[in-house]
Structure 1
Amino acid sequence: MSAPVISATMGAMNPLIGKLAALMGDEYKKLTGVRRQASFLKDELSTMKALLEKLELMDELDPLAKNWRDHVREMSYDMENCIDDFMRDIGGADAKMGFIKKTAKCLKTLRKRHRIADRMEELKALALQANERRMRYKIDDCTNSTNNVVPIDTRMLAIYKHTAGLVGIDGPKKELVSWLTDTREKLKVVAIVGFGGLGKTTLAKQVYDTIGGQFSCKIFLSVSQRPDMSSLLGGLQLKLEMKEELTHAHEVQDIVGRLREYLTHKRYLIVVDDLWDQSTWNIMSCIFPEVGNGSRVIVTTRMEDVAIWACGNDHECVYRMEPLKEQDSRMLFCNRVFGSGNVCPLQLKEVWAEILK
């Protein structure tokens, strides 16, 4: 699997935490006060990092959360520059130096250590201020609150994208089709995992269209990040045209029971698109009965742990998407920019490689 994409914020935070950990090592054991401050900073920043990772996964952030995220990123860069200066300044006296030179260097180093201790206090104050702003602006609530504004779902474009415009999908589609059309009669769950924008939804839809005719019941269901399970499962009832059941089932448990009963009599293919957490899957999986008739479920997710969980810890059923290869990237670029002719003008050929990077 290719290395995950690291955001600008994480790119600033990760090296800083690593350098603070280095300041706590044996090499700096004489700097007791500095090590203590480094330990405090590392703990504070690690807590901020955990929240930042949650914010990175959200499709939409409110202005306050964006402002706080950007502030922490800039603060991280400033802190890292200071730590780099500390590490460069602090060093032992050269064994080949004479007594006078060694003494002079020690005095100079002592003054530097005092300056470093003062600067570490300033960095500690910056971290405390950032966490205080986090509490005051209630940034943590952004990861739990729902948004009343209904955004345009860009995955809809992937679902209805014309096959002719797709690039680099034939190989992955063929592999997944082979996984899903084996002779195994037991219910099989296959997960497609990868970061946002790789084309998981498009791939799932292509596989769905290819093998859907082999099943008596097929549904493509989009989940989203914070689903209302009652609405989601009620929508699934509508897709299955279970009209006679809609007026009787209001609780999630009731809807799950009715869906499970309905699917017990079907050989089904269901796509659960854009699954974000294990708890949602724990509910969703209850509607899929195991009746030994070759039913199949496809899950798409950005989360490796969710993909593995959905597949019952069967790593062989997890398809890890990778970015397009260079040749496919070039083809896609030409297709998008120059139309279906896929021909790049001669005067641009020297720069298009740089654009692709």
Structure 2
Amino acid sequence: MEVAVSSSDGVMGPLLGKLADLLAGKYGRIRGVRGEILSLQAELTSMHAALKNYTMLEDPDVQVMSWISLLRELAYDTEDCIDKFIRRLGKRGRRGGFKELLRDTTRFLKSLNSRCGIADHIDELKARIKHVKELKDCYKLSEILCSKTEHAAVDPRLCALFAEEAHLVGVEGPRDDLVKWMLKEENSSTKDRKVLSIVGFGGLGKTTLANEVYRKIQGHFDCQVFVSVSQKPYIKNIIKDVISQVPCQDGSTKDTSDWDEKKSIAKLRELLQDKRYLVIVDDIWSTQAWNNIKCAFPYNNCSSRIITTTRIIDVARSCCPGSDDRVYEMAALSDLHSKRLFLKRIFGSEDHCPDMLKESSNEILKKCGGLPLAIISISSLLANRPVVKEEWEKIIRSIGSALENNQSLEGMSKILLLSYNDLPPNLKTCLLYLSVFPEDYVIDRERLVRRWIAEGFISEERGQSQQEVAERYFYELVNKSMVQPEDIGYDGGGQTSLANRQGFIRRLSIQHIDHELAHLLAQEDLSHILQVVRVWKSMI
């Protein structure tokens, strides 16, 4: 759902920029035309502001999505009308100054109804704008936005905390390395507090690895604590959670119900002052959250240890400012470990996979890209399907849609969406644009940022050109583990939703085409496609 919201936001930005350019250019000086442009700009700017608020919703309801769909098509049609106006008017333009332009333009505008119908289109757009605006009030969308409150949800990472060691694959090497590093000063004279920060994309197994290290070394510490931060941390509750896990010397319980943030931090520091503590601070999303939390853990010369996990490289570095601290970047599973985990989950052993499914299993693992969460989720789905090649090939063709529609993959979908939802609207738009490239396609950075600029996704900012802003966006996506600098791909699963789309298709990316998809495409209006990406496989 969030993807639809952000794609709409990406439409509105370029459209408003185009309207601003019209006002600043020669067409904005034409009486009547300027008024129409100003009217469109005012209404669409207001709608764009509302749309930006909706991008902050993690789970927009049906009415919100319906309104957004109408607004998206309205924005596209408005842009088409403006382009047609500029193209037709540009052909009539003369050299010779403003008077000649005005005279020619006036004659042209008088004949718009009969010659190209643009005036009718403008009137229609104005009526649709009014309708969309009225629907927003009718649906009471502003009230929905205000009433959206946090609701208690099951943490999708919960199962990682209780994973059985015997079921894990590929963890032993990193775990043993980190355990050795965490304990290497145990017999030395230096007993400073050290921080290990594990960083990587969602689903790589950061929490699982941190918990495995925790299990191996917890016996070396006076107290052990695990606390999750999440995207919207409530620092006072986090500190109170830690306090509840630290034993009191006199065995008494701690009533923290009326404590504020300052008192909670002071009490925790007091409890930990003379203890060798081990703390896991899981799922940190900002340097500010870490700065608010770290002051609660004192430097007490007891060889204490803190393990943090995050998806953001800059956050990991902020957790580890000292020369004795360590940032550990998670890597995807190797092909061998991926295959072992996948087949073990389905057949109990990699040796029990039928020969007819080996090629299909390799294709599925290629799509999973060494992501443990993806491998576990897809293998769980296949474990409940008939062990026949046709069923596996069906999953290969529809992994993208299966993420949306299959309950067994819901946890994986939510974890992957956490990173996407954390992006600001401008970065969401730029990230979604990567879907126009074929699967396993390595994208040149310069080419990508130029295309972002050409699409109108990038605006100049104070002191920075469009090129500089676009490059900054690229590196922000890298920093947030959303883009791999040398291996950017798209799963190609979106093609199955064509038949359900209302309105026009603007960009079409085809990774695989068969008779069913060809039939769907034959029924679609493809006249408005702005860009077609090459067919990945020829039709069977």
- Shared fold per TM-score greater than 0.5: yes
Superposed counterparts of 1:260-271, under 5 Å: 260-271=269-280
2:160 paired with 1:128: no
2:69 paired with 1:74: yes
Superposed counterparts of 1:329-348, under 5 Å: 330-341=339-350, 343-348=352-357
Q: Does 31-40 or 104-113 show the bigger shift?
A: 104-113
2:243 paired with 1:237: yes
CA shift for structure 1 position 140:
3.2
Query: In the superposition, relative to structure 1, how do residues 236 and 40 fare at CA in structure 2: closer, same or farther (>3 Å)?
Result: same
Distance 1:126 1:331 in 2: 56
Distance 2:214 2:297 in 1: 17
CA shift for structure 1 position 265:
1.0
CA shift for structure 1 position 141:
3.3
1:165 corresponds in structure 2 to 167
Q: Report percent identity of matched pairs.
A: 27
Distance 1:336 1:16 in 2: 43
CA shift for structure 1 position 136:
4.7
1:15 corresponds in structure 2 to 10
CA shift for structure 1 position 296:
2.5
Is the 2:74–2:125 contact (alpha carbons within 8 Å) kept by the matching residues of 1?
no
Distance 1:170 1:45 in 2: 50
- One-letter amino acid matched to 1:207: V
> What is the number of equivalent residue pairs in this alignment?
335
1:290 corresponds in structure 2 to 299
Q: Tell me, what secondary structure is at the counterpart of 1:287?
A: coil
Superposed counterparts of 1:157-196, under 5 Å: 157-169=159-171, 173=175, 185-193=191-199, 196=202
Q: Tell me, what secondary structure is at the counterpart of 2:215?
A: helix
Q: Structure 1 residue aligned with 2:208, among 202, 208, 225?
A: 202
Is the 1:189–1:296 contact (alpha carbons within 8 Å) kept by the matching residues of 2?
yes
Distance 1:190 1:36 in 2: 56
2:44 corresponds in structure 1 to 41
Q: Tell me, what secondary structure is at the counterpart of 2:278?
A: strand
- One-letter amino acid matched to 2:209: L
CA shift for structure 1 position 134:
5.5
Note the alpha carbon deviations across 1:37-75, whole angstroms, 9 max, x for none. 2465256325423442x323xxxx5xxx42244224423
CA shift for structure 1 position 175:
7.0
1:117 corresponds in structure 2 to 122
Distance 1:172 1:47 in 2: 46
Distance 1:310 1:19 in 2: 38
Which residues of structure 1 form unaligned runs of 5+? 1-5, 96-101
Q: Tell me, what secondary structure is at the counterpart of 2:295?
A: helix
Is the 2:64–2:141 contact (alpha carbons within 8 Å) kept by the matching residues of 1?
no
2:145 corresponds in structure 1 to 139
Note the alpha carbon deviations across 1:118-147, whole angstroms, 9 max, x for none. 3443454365346544555332332xx343
Q: Structure 1 residue aligned with 2:57, among 50, 55, 58?
A: 55
In angstroms, what is the RMSD of aligned CA positions?
4.5
Q: Tell me, what secondary structure is at the counterpart of 1:138?
A: helix
1:3 corresponds in structure 2 to none
Q: Tell me, what secondary structure is at the counterpart of 2:207?
A: helix
- One-letter amino acid matched to 1:160: F
Query: In the superposition, relative to structure 1, how do residues 120 and 302 fare at CA in structure 2: closer, same or farther (>3 Å)?
Result: farther
Note the alpha carbon deviations across 1:183-206, whole angstroms, 9 max, x for none. 685434444455654433212212
Q: Structure 1 residue aligned with 2:158, among 153, 156, 159?
A: 156
Is the 1:159–1:201 contact (alpha carbons within 8 Å) kept by the matching residues of 2?
yes
- One-letter amino acid matched to 1:166: L
Which residues of structure 2 form unaligned runs of 5+? 29-33, 93-104, 364-395, 400-490, 492-540
Q: TM-score, normalized by length of structure 1?
A: 0.70
